Amino acid sequence: MSEDVEYLEVGYSILPIRCKRGHTSESAIKCKNFTFENDLTDSLISIIHKENIGSRKVAINNGMSLFKNNLKNPNTDFDMYRISK
């Protein structure tokens, strides 16, 4: 059985030279705030590779928590983090 639910996703990518300065968390939080303040959706997700610790930290800093784990892709495993209004 497939789940026919649409989500808005906060995604991010940053150059290694800019890592660990808070830029990604700050940007993700601003995206979340804009989305909720403008009533674009009731929840946001981030889909993160299980081994990407930095992205998990950004999601947590953005108020997200683990929603679904072990999302399968033909080549790798992902977790879904989510926050609701």
Looking up tokens 């947590």 gives: 60
Instruction: Tell me how far apart the alpha carbons of residues 38 and 26 are, in angstroms, rounded to a whole number.
Output: 18
pLDDT of 20 above 50: yes
Instruction: Tell me how far apart the alpha carbons of residues 68 and 51 are, in angstroms, rounded to a whole number.
Output: 15
Question: What spatial distance separates the first Cα and last Cα of the chain, rounded to whole Å?
Answer: 28
Predicted pLDDT of residue 75:
67
Answer yes or no: are the C-beta atoms of 9 and 71 closer than 8 Å. no
Helices of type H across the chain: 23-37, 53-61
For the stretch 42-82, pLDDT in tens is: 999 999 988 899 999 999 999 999 998 877 666 678 999 99
Q: Which amino acid is at 46?
A: S
Q: Which two tokens stand for residue 14?
A: 């940053």
Predicted pLDDT of residue 1:
39
User: 33 or 3: whose pLDDT is higher?
Assistant: 33
Burial of 42 from C-beta contacts in 10 A (0-12 / 13-18 / 19+):
exposed
Which CATH entry fits the domain spanning 8-84: 3.60.15.10, 3.40.640.10, 3.40.50.280, 3.40.630.30? Answer: 3.40.630.30
